Chain A
């Protein structure tokens, strides 16, 4: 489990700088969650994650499973009426976890069937998003 010990202000700045997004711009309409193809399995869902970040609950979101289910399909950012791109926020959150040396997926965890079968594009993308 990752516990960031920086000042809350610093963590918020990191997330905003890495993502290029302003967290307070979100007014919680839920459009991102409604369009997200993997929201059914996410905890928290995109709009909830942004709300938690607005409430400074950074460690809660950084340790959640939801940020690892983003397929980077860009529906959330495309449809947000406030111009907030949750995909970029999730990318920034994963980057913070990974830069703290917490790898999310190892090769041993991947089903051997996929290693032989699936296009390498899937592995390159997944290992870039999920490993340190």
Chain B
């Protein structure tokens, strides 16, 4: 079985266990072992764009170095970890940052050449495993479940640094859902920000950002939403109860729906860990 270095990050260890466990389980079914780094630290959760901010780059680079003990690819799931790790890795090795990088390396125990390739699990599914293989392992076709693939900001932008997908019309997650029998729904705000960490100091602003996205999703006729980011999941799921309008849209992690299709145990899928209960919808569709 192919081994790929895997970085879960802080939130997946506690609040978003289902995002993490479903990914490990589905990878196993698809013939890949997501091997967790032997030791890792928090990536910092947000990329610092301040040019002289050396300290904030040390944490992500430590994880990139650790990954090399397992594979030259490092797989992540959380959109924030993906954004921070990939940008740190790229920007440190730009020619104009030579002096800056050398200074930063003085804080690290090991030399690093920038060769770790940061991948999101969706990229692993598409490029390393292949959607055809995913299709061949489907046990429970998602039966035309209308899913809105919500990418949010951290997966897509800045596109010249992340190079993940088209920043205005991303399709990677939609394609994955088509593969497992869901019906992918198009909507305008696939890459709109959910309000992110603004939740902490201005929750009313974050709620309004989330409501704008849900308005757009509800208008598209989607029955549920899939996301890659624990903070997006929280903002558009838990904040629904604070909104003036009732959407009643279940918000999944994309790995939960993938797991459902590949026959992962319901205990691992953990559909109880949601604010808007997704079980009535899944029962109605004959999926649980």
Using a CB–CB distance below 8 Å, which chain A residues touch chain B?
17-20, 37-38, 40-41, 68-69, 71-75, 77-78, 85, 87-88, 91-92, 95, 104-105, 109-111, 114, 117-130
Residues of A within 8 A of B154 (CB): 73
- Inter-chain contacts of B47 with A (CB < 8 A): 72
User: DSSP majority for the A interface?
Assistant: helix
Contact across chains for A78 and B167 when beta carbons are under 8 A apart = yes
**A122 contacts B196, CB within 8 Å?**
yes
A91:B49 contact, CB within 8 angstroms: yes
With contact pairs A37-B212, A69-B205 given, residues A129 and B46 touching in the complex (Cβ less than 8 Å): yes
Q: How far apart are the CA atoms of A124 and B9 in the complex, in Å?
A: 12
Given contacts A20-B49, A129-B46, 16 further A-B contacts (CB under 8 A): A18-B52, A37-B212, A38-B195, A71-B197, A72-B196, A73-B154, A74-B153, A105-B200, A110-B201, A118-B15, A118-B199, A118-B200, A119-B230, A119-B234, A123-B197, A128-B46
Q: How far is the CB of B7 from chain A (nearest CB, A)?
A: 14
B78 → A minimal CB distance (Å) = 7
Query: B205 to chain A: closest CB distance in Å?
Result: 5
Out of B16, B46, B53, which one reaches A125, CB within 8 Å?
B46
The CA of A75 and the CA of B163, in the complex, are separated in Å by: 15
Chain B contact patch, size range: 35 or more
B positions within 8 Å CB-CB of A: 9-11, 14-16, 42, 44-53, 56, 78, 80, 153-154, 157-159, 167, 192-193, 195-203, 205-206, 208-209, 212, 230-231, 233-234, 238
B216 to chain A, nearest CB (A): 12
Taking A19-B51, A95-B50, A119-B234 as contacts, is the C-beta distance between A69 and B202 under 8 angstroms?
Answer: yes
- In the complex, what distance in Å separates the CA atom of A20 from the CA atom of B14? 37
Distance to closest chain B CB from A127 (angstroms): 8
CA distance A23 to B143 in the complex (A): 53
**CB-nearest residue of chain A to B53:** A95
Selected A-B contacts with CB under 8 Å, 7 pairs: A18-B50, A38-B195, A75-B157, A123-B197, A124-B10, A125-B45, A130-B200
Q: Given A17-B51, A125-B45, is A73 in contact with B196 using a C-beta cutoff of 8 Å?
A: yes
Q: Contact between B201 and A37 (Cβ–Cβ < 8 Å)?
A: no
CA distance A91 to B212 in the complex (A): 25
A119 touches B157 (CB 8 A): no
Question: Is the beta-carbon distance between B200 and A122 smaller than 8 angstroms?
Answer: yes
> Considering only CB atoms, which chain B residue lies closest to A123 in the complex?
B200
CB distance from B277 to the nearest CB of A (A): 17
Contacts A69-B198, A114-B200, A124-B45 given; indicate if A74 touches B157 (C-beta within 8 A).
yes
